[in-house]
Chains A and B, each alone.
Chain A
Amino acid sequence: MKTVQFAAKFEYLDEIREFVGAIARDGGFSDKDVYNIQLATDEAASNIIEHAYEKISDGVLELSCGMRDNLITIVLVDHGESFDPSEIPLPDLKADLSKRKIGGLGIFLMRKLMDDVHYEVKPNNSNVLTMTKRKR
Chain B
Amino acid sequence: MDITVQEFKHCDMITVKGRVDSATAPQLAQALESANDGGKYKLVVNMSDLEYMSSAGFRALLAAQRNCKRYNRGEVVLASVPERIREALELAGFTELFKTFDDPLQAVGHF
Interface residues of A (CB under 8 A from B): 10-11, 13-14, 17, 31-32, 35-36, 38-39, 42-43, 46, 49-50, 91, 93-94, 97-98, 100, 102, 105-106, 108-109, 112-113
Contact of A10 among B23, B58, B93 (CB under 8 A): B23
Check B23 against A13 for contact (C-beta < 8 Å). Answer: yes
Interface residues of B (CB under 8 A from A): 19, 21-23, 52, 54-56, 58-59, 62-63, 65-66, 69, 84, 87-88, 91-93, 97
Q: How many A-B contacts at CB < 8 Å in the complex?
A: 65
Q: Which 9 A-B pairs have the closest CB atoms?
A: A93-B93, A10-B23, A105-B55, A46-B22, A10-B22, A35-B84, A13-B21, A106-B55, A42-B54
Interface of A is mostly: helix
* CA–CA, A105 and B69, complex, Å: 22
Question: What are 19 pairs between A and B in contact, CB < 8 Å?
Answer: A10-B21, A10-B22, A13-B23, A17-B52, A32-B84, A39-B52, A39-B54, A42-B22, A43-B54, A43-B55, A46-B54, A46-B55, A49-B22, A50-B22, A98-B66, A105-B92, A106-B55, A109-B91, A109-B92
Check A97 against B66 for contact (C-beta < 8 Å). Answer: yes
B91: shortest Cβ distance to chain A, in Å? 5
Check B21 against A105 for contact (C-beta < 8 Å). Answer: no
* CA–CA, A36 and B19, complex, Å: 14
Check B91 against A112 for contact (C-beta < 8 Å). Answer: yes
* CA–CA, A100 and B61, complex, Å: 12
Check A11 against B23 for contact (C-beta < 8 Å). Answer: yes
Which residues of chain B come closer than 8 Å to A102, judged between CB atoms? Answer: 59, 62-63
Which residues of chain A come closer than 8 Å to B69, judged between CB atoms? Answer: 97
* CA–CA, A42 and B65, complex, Å: 24
